[in-house]
Structure 1
Amino acid sequence: MTDIIVIGGGIAGISAAARLSADAQVTLIEAEKALGYHASGRSAALIEQNYGAPSVQALNRASVGSLNDANGGYLTQRGLMIVAGTHEEAALDANLETMGLSRISKAEALAMVPVLDPEKVAFAGYHADAHDIDTDRLMQDFAKTLRSNGGTIRTGHPVTAISHGPSGWEVETGGEKLHAQKIVNAAGAWADQIAVMAGVPPLGIVPHRRSMARIAAPGGHDPARWPMFFGVNETWYAKPDAGALIISPADEDPVEPHDAWADDMVLAEGLERYQNMVAIPLTKPISTWAGLRSFAPDRTLVLGPDPDHADFIWCAGQGGYGFQTSPAASQLVADLTFGRTSPLSRETVAALRPDRLRP
């Protein structure tokens, strides 16, 4: 018997399991054969502290120190730019205020991203304090922490049944039955399904598909030092990645939980919006894919014990913020699981607890 079973091996699950393992015997189970297969393996991997709802921003601020310093640091400076056409100035100004970016000149924007079309780009904003995250190493280090604390990771173990009795939880997975005092639900797009399987009312967490394409570096340029750049209202974005460019229509189409793939029509529309702001014609994508970003109804994370089932702990609804919030979010899950006071403000904790979503 273990103290805690964590269901889900994405960044939410592995970070929570690592934190919890300092004070408990933890077993993490993941349906796929590798950690980080779904949303975590398909992330844009960026932290921008002003991104997300106020509670998400609080987690960003509480996480950035660890992401910058722990184990030699996981961050590399990237920068963030928003570009706008002639008739988009008002929308740009609203975006700049929301995200804490500053106006820059068109000439400055073109110097940073030389493929932008000077005939189409009229206005721009920029923020230097946005960073790439070394997501692979971050997940590996959380896994290393879990194992060094005596925890266990079992991949290729889909959950087939969950029941609760006087001695705690019984989880059927991989042809065996595991027992634990507590369950942490870090199942991402499948979080509500796991809850229902456990007899816990779902919270309305819905996965949303995001499509992506990788293209060769435009016009032979080296994009390594380019910022990530967006259209106004995030109708598309482009991000340098390993000598190429990742482009997304920033779609958020609600779907059922599944192994996601790109919607070709949606992707084509996003690529066209990108093309409308650059001077170099698009080339055929090298590859395309999609991930699922799962949101609670209020679009912020759900962290902590269920109000009606205290031994069922939610770690879900990351909505694309999983990596950038993982140090603070996992610490909050551990603090709430063990009844400790969080260093986060009471308002932030209340905005993240599952209690807010129960009638």
Structure 2
Amino acid sequence: MKQYDVIIIGAGIAGASIASEIGADRSVLLLEAEEHPGYHSTGRSAAFWTESYGGPMVQPLTSASRAFLEKPPADFSDMPFLGPRGAVNIGRDEDLHLADQFLADFADSGLNMDRWSREQLLSLVPDLKPAWQHAVYEPDCRDIDVAALHAAYLRNAKRQGVELLCRARSARS
């Protein structure tokens, strides 16, 4: 019976990325209970990348991922994983203090954020209910091509010598 340094249970985006990162230095077995990796949430994911996610303490980590996701190393992928999207965070009059705090929290971060007026909102959403009065626009938000990113991690893991075993349930499954 073959021995492994590490056994990773689950070959979704988390398991595949960990296997990809550690596979060159350790013998790794990637176990997947389903017929193919990414069968559950990874395979159905519509992911959104925004630097403001998680607040100012997490933002530097998110910002650090941008270069890799926009222009990954050629041996990892020949295409970017981020596509244009943008995001509008809307609020009512009573939420204005939250928008102010949001902008203040990221004021020194270098993130691109703009306060939008009701008129700017209406140009995007003409039938917006009157209660929604204010917005913060984040033009640098992106969609993540999760399927392509997952496939790249799996390819890289395989190149690193990681073994993938599907239809394999762990003792606790």
TM-score by length of 1: 0.41
Does 1:61 find its partner at 2:73? no
Is 1:89 the equivalent of 2:91?
no
Q: How far apart, CA to CA, are the structure 2 residues paired with 1:146 and 1:115?
A: 48
| Residue identity (%) | 33
Structure 2 CA distance for partners of 1:95 and 1:39, relative to 1, 3 Å: farther
Kindly report which structure 2 residues correspond to 1:1-359, keeping only aligned pairs within 5 A, or say none: 1-54=3-56, 56-70=58-72, 71=77, 72-98=79-105, 101-117=113-129, 119-160=130-171
The alpha carbon displacement at 1:43 in A equals: 3.5
Q: Which has the higher contact order (CA 8 A, sep 6+)?
A: 2
Cα offsets for 1:137-172 (capped at 9, x unmatched)? 1000110111122221112222115xxxxxxxxxxx
Closer, same or farther in 2 for the Cα pair 1:156/1:58, shift >3 Å? Answer: farther
Q: Deviations over 1:34-78 (max 9, x none)?
A: 322334334340111121155532321221111000122111111
Q: In structure 2, what residue type is equivalent to 1:24?
A: R
Provide the C-alpha distance between the structure 2 equivalents of 1:132 and 1:80, rounded to a whole number of angstroms.
10
- 133-142 vs 55-64, which moves further: 55-64
1:32 & 1:96 partners in 2: Cα distance? 44
**Equivalent-residue separation in structure 1 for 2:135 and 2:57 (angstroms):** 27
Question: For residue 66 of structure 2, what is the amino acid of its counterpart?
Answer: V
Q: Which runs of 5+ in 2 are unaligned?
A: none
The DSSP-based 3-state class of the residue aligned with 2:123 is helix
Name the CA shift for 1:158/1:54 in 2 (closer, same or farther; >3 Å): farther
* Residue of structure 2 in register with 1:210 after alignment: none
* Structure 2: distance between partners of 1:55 and 1:155: 37
Bigger strand share: 1
Deviation at 1:22, TM superposition (A): 2.1
Would you identify which runs of 4 or more consecutive aligned residues in structure 1 move more than 4 Å?
none
CA distance in 2, matches of 1:60, 1:19: 18
**Does the Cα contact within 8 Å between 2:24 and 2:161 map onto a contact in 1?**
no
TM-score (norm 2): 0.80
Q: Aligned partners of 1:39 and 1:65: how far apart in 2?
A: 25
What code does the residue aligned with 2:145 have?
D
Question: 1:124 is aligned with what amino acid?
Answer: A
Q: What number of residue pairs does the alignment pair up? A: 161
Q: Distance in 2 between matches of 1:54 and 1:20?
A: 29
